[in-house]
Structure 1
Amino acid sequence: MTAPVTRRGKNGAMDLQVLRSFQAVAEGTTVTDAATDAGITQPALSRALARLEDEVGAALLQRVGRVLRLTPAGRVFKEYVDGMLDNYDRGRRAVAEMVHPDSGVVSLAFLHTLGTWLVPRLVTDFRRTFPQAQFELHQDGEMGLTRHLLDTTADLVITSSDPGHPLITWRRLLVEPLRLAVPARHRLARRRRIRLAEVAEERFILLKQGYGLRDITAALCREAGFTPVIAFEGEEVETLRGLVAAGLGVSLIPSSPDITAASESPIRYLEITDVRGARDIGIAWLSSRAVPPIARRFLDHALRTSADRATPMT
């Protein structure tokens, strides 16, 4: 039996773009927007997607209301398209890094709270040595960072504590202090230090379940002999700061250099003395996947920078 012949564009580029457009539409992009991204008209992309379905031999997309959804065959096909495009992109990247080992793209994901001080400092210092290096940056919470590694959408992640995943290697970079944040008009605001046990009756503003800082806060409160009374659960440390400033409760906040201690600040940050008010900050990568050359250089830079400092980066 003769195998069917797959139609190709003159140089194969259009077929690859059609697959990228199919991937985008399958993930929720409209055909109009996908066509704009591809630099073609909407009717042209619609015809290309129809030809793709003819080549595959099954309907891949179906209209549900005003949007297109994957058919069962489309869901199966998309898994292979995702893998193929990922391998193609990684192949191009590997060749580019072999030809230009001091350039390339470092795909880095990191905690939101590290985007104002640690990551900019590491990137700036690194680019002094490797000025041609480019960065693809992602911000996320703890669980999202692990997914970035497992989905290979990031080469490296900077996160707090070891993810504890068998496929991930983690190394400590520094220890970041945690401070008790209280409103400027709080009864304890004039203090510089405090035992965490002293605020056992206060209302706490915490991150939601699943965030590393939430687990650390709960553990420190248990160590201090109480379970925190929760006033609010958020998804961003900046939200915690804002609600503390509004007088709605207290919170354990990372004491990074971006935190201001100015007298006009609506928040005061108190050192904790009865428990270890700190969290580890580290860098992680997939153990089973070779870290690309330029990303390996950045990894070595981050580890060397932390090793060269006797105290945390503050």
Structure 2
Amino acid sequence: METETLRWFQLVADGVTVTEVSEIEAISQPAVSRAMRRLELEVGTPLLRREGRVLRLTHAGSAFKGHVDAVLHHLDDGIAAVQQILDPERGTVTISFQPSFGTWLVPDLVSNFHAEHPQIRLDLRTKSDETMPEVGPRSDVDVELSTLRPPQGPEHPQWRVLTVEPLRLLVGPDHRLSGTDEVALSQVADEPFVMIKPTSLLRRQCEQMCVEAQFEPYVAFVADDLPTLRGYVAAGLGVAIAPALWGGSVAAPVAGLHVLALTDRSATREVGLSWAPQRRMLPAARLFRDYVLDRARAGKLPRPV
């Protein structure tokens, strides 16, 4: 089977007319129709049926289409891999990251990497569910910036710590502790809490910190993101635990918001980079991964305050 014919079949199966295919490919309409008939003879059964002026997939055509998509996807990946080997500076790197990293870590890494490798395209994706890894052997994500440490083992993603981010207690303008430099979490055990949504790893860690401080928090309000959480606390709706790095989660000034250091031993979170060793990483992605790890080892990431 010719690759060109499979691509024409893919177009027709996706709703493109034979006339449109002939125009796109700069070939005559009869030539496209003959190629479809040859393909059906090779497969051994009709793949398309005509409904008025439109071609529809038969049951056999639907079954065949899924495999054609997979074959052409792998073929395109192979061509891209060869192109990246020939010129790794023109590849694409797909990066997944937790939303809270979008204000400090991701801009720092992306801007500095882009300055050294301006032709490499970076596909940035914010995670919707932080509790699930997005790197894996069948994922199209190359690397992931996360606080989620995967289980150890050859079948799991590899993970390297980049930096440790301190967690702080946020209180409102008239809070009794607003003039204090540092506190223990147990000092606010009886107060209402503002928590981040359950799909956040921060939510899990905050709840665990409360367990270690020997109390169950009363969750008065739930915020979808850290800016909203800060706003709720500044409005006096409760206290909250949030990360705080230079230029990071609580750096933007919010009127009435006070940030207090926590003396609890678990008041930090590890920020790491993960990737799937079972998935072949193309040169541009390896270049970005190694750049991030080298930058972390050299102490060039944003520093805690």
Question: What is the TM-score of this pair, normalised by structure 1?
Answer: 0.74
- TM-superposition CA deviations, 1:26-61 (whole Å, max 9, x none): xxxxx9xxx9xxx8xxxxxxxx9xx89x9685799x
1:116 aligns with 2:103: yes
The percent of aligned pairs where both chains have the same amino acid is 33
Q: Give the 3 Å change call, closer, same or farther, for CA 214–18 of structure 1 in structure 2.
A: farther
Q: Contact 1:224–1:275 at 8 Å: present in 2 too? A: no
What code does the residue aligned with 1:216 have? Answer: Q
Shift of 1:143: 4.2
Mapped to 2, the partners of 1:137 and 1:261 lie a distance apart of 22
Instruction: Tell me which of 82, 96, 111 is aligned to 2:83.
Output: 96
In the other structure, the counterpart of 2:53 is none
Confirm or deny: 8 A CA contact 2:234 2:254 kept in the other structure.
no
Name the amino acid aligned to 1:284: S
Give the corresponding residue for 2:285. Answer: 295
SS at 1:98's partner residue?
helix
Residue aligning to 2:127: 140
Q: Provide the aligned C-alpha RMSD in A.
A: 3.7
Cα distance in 1 for residues equivalent to 2:194 and 2:65: 42
Partner of 1:107: 94
Q: Which structure would you say has the larger Rg?
A: 2
1:167 to 1:18, Cα distance in 2 relative to 1, 3 A:
farther
Tell me, in whole angstroms, the C-alpha distance in 2 between the residues paired with 1:200 and 1:72: 62
Please tell me whether the aligned partners of residues 150 and 156 of structure 2 are also in contact (alpha carbons under 8 angstroms).
Answer: no
The equivalences for 1:1-314 within 5 A come to 13-18=7-12, 21=14, 57=46, 80=67, 83-143=70-130, 146-149=133-136, 151-164=138-151, 166-256=155-245, 257-259=247-249, 265-309=255-299, 313-314=303-304
The CA deviation at 1:83 is 3.0
Secondary structure in 1 aligned to 2:103? Answer: coil
Q: State the AA in 2 paired with 1:198.
A: Q
TM-score, length basis structure 2: 0.76
* Counterpart contact for 2:46–2:60, Cα < 8 Å: no
Instruction: Check the 8 A contact 1:145/1:159 in 2, yes or no.
Output: no
In structure 2, relative to structure 1, the CA distance for the partners of 1:74 and 1:231 (3 Å cut) is: farther
Between the aligned partners of 2:292 and 2:300, the Cα distance in structure 1 is: 14
Note the residue ranges of structure 2 that are not aligned, 5 or more in a row.
25-32, 50-56
Letter in 1 for 2:279: R
Aligned-pair CA distance for 1:293? 0.7
The aligned length equals 276
3-state secondary structure, aligned to 1:132: coil
| Runs of 4 or more consecutive aligned structure 1 residues displaced over 6 Å after TM superposition | 70-75
